[in-house]
């Protein structure tokens, strides 16, 4: 019997390290991704897909900076929405073609998804999420004069940082659920979703922020009542002491054990930490979460690869 599986695609599913981001590069990478996902769909499982968008938003910001003399720049929420549409289209093209070739009658549908965040989230007073490329001190000073937060990294330059608030509510949840129940494969909360806040007047306004993709994906998986939550990345599983010669693979974790790893600082805040936190939150809801490499999807679901996170 098929299960309902939410698959969170990491950036390597769309753009490999060292690539420039040409359209043909991204489409070729997604063709590989599509082949792996199509096998899962062909086995009778229902899928919901989410994805990262960091390189694509970075490209938009570079394009805007270079054309700012003739084209007004977009706010970050516009860039988030644009990248959702772009990546969603590429997934529809590649996965749709792969499913058709296999005789699997599933429609892939992208949803530009807004995710509500709390305007009082502490992240808004402590921006930490880097966006865009590195610049020199002069450009950073101009950004700071506009009220932006910038940080310096020795040897690389200055980079803008924005808040990364916790996801609270997925506003297009009912639409995603109807698509899933109707047999489609929805693509949602791309890049963590477009962050919006509810104003005192009841209006929803976009904000300059980036929501962690895996935390938003976990929230969506829990809200939809998915059976499994699969986070695909460029690391084959979770490790203790990862950056040392003594690293040890962790094929099985409970949510409590995951909490201990996080409290010990074992997992990098900008990479594996949010993934494990997202997976543990899903496991607490009664489902099974997995973290592993894209090329090992079938083995991960069968329990032969990756890290499983479950309550027991």
Quick one: CA dihedral 163, 166, 171, 173, positive or negative?
positive
Contact 221, 172 (CB under 8 A): no
Look up tokens 């890290």; give the residue: 307
Active-site residue among 88, 192, 213, 292?
213
Contact 281, 214 (CB under 8 A): no
Contact 115, 171 (CB under 8 A): yes
Catalytic residue flag (residue 270): no
Active-site residue among 10, 53, 88, 129?
129
Crossing angle of the two packed helices 76-101 and 54-66, in degrees rounded to 10: 130
Sheet containing 129-135: give its strands across: 129-135, 157-162, 149-153
Catalytic residue flag (residue 275): yes
Catalytic residue flag (residue 31): no
Q: What is the rounded distance in angstroms from the CA atom of residue 294 to the CA atom of residue 230?
A: 10
* Burial category of 225 from C-beta neighbours within 10 Å (exposed 0-12, middle 13-18, buried 19 and up): exposed
Catalytic residue flag (residue 12): yes
Active-site residue among 12, 52, 88, 191?
12
Active-site residue among 54, 132, 191, 275?
275
DSSP 20: -
Q: Which residues are catalytic?
A: 11-12, 129, 213, 275
């Amino acid at each position: 019997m098929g299960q309902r599986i939410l698959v969170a695609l990491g950036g390597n599913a769309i753009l490999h390290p060292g690539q420039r981001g040409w359209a043909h590069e991204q489409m070729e990478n997604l063709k590989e991704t599509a082949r792996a996902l199509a096998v899962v769909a062909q086995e009778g499982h229902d899928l919901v897909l989410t994805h990262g968008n960091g390189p694509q938003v970075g490209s938009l910001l570079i394009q805007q900076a270079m054309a700012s003399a003739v084209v007004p720049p977009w706010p970050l929420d516009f860039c988030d929405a644009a990248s959702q549409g772009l990546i969603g289209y590429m997934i529809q093209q590649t996965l749709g073609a792969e499913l058709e070739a296999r005789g699997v009658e599933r429609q892939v549908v992208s949803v530009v998804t807004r995710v509500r965040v709390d305007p009082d989230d502490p992240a808004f007073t402590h921006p930490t999420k880097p966006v865009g490329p590195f610049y020199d001190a002069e450009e950073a000073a101009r950004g700071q004069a506009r009220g932006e937060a910038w940080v310096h990294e020795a040897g690389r330059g200055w980079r803008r940082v924005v808040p990364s608030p916790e996801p609270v509510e997925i506003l297009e949840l009912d639409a995603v659920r109807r698509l899933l129940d109707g047999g489609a494969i929805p693509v949602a909360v791309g890049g963590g979703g477009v962050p919006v806040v509810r104003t005192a007047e009841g209006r929803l306004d976009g904000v300059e922020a980036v929501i962690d993709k895996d935390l938003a994906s976990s929230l969506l998986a829990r809200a939809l009542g998915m059976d499994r939550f699969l986070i695909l990345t460029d690391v084959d599983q979770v490790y203790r002491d990862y950056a040392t010669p003594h690293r040890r693979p962790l094929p099985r974790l409970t949510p409590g054990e995951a909490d201990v790893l996080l409290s010990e600082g074992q997992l990098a805040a900008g990479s594996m930490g949010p993934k494990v936190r997202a997976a543990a939150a899903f496991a607490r809801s009664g489902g099974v979460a997995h973290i592993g490499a894209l090329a090992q999807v079938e083995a991960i679901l069968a329990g032969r690869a990756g890290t499983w996170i479950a309550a027991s």
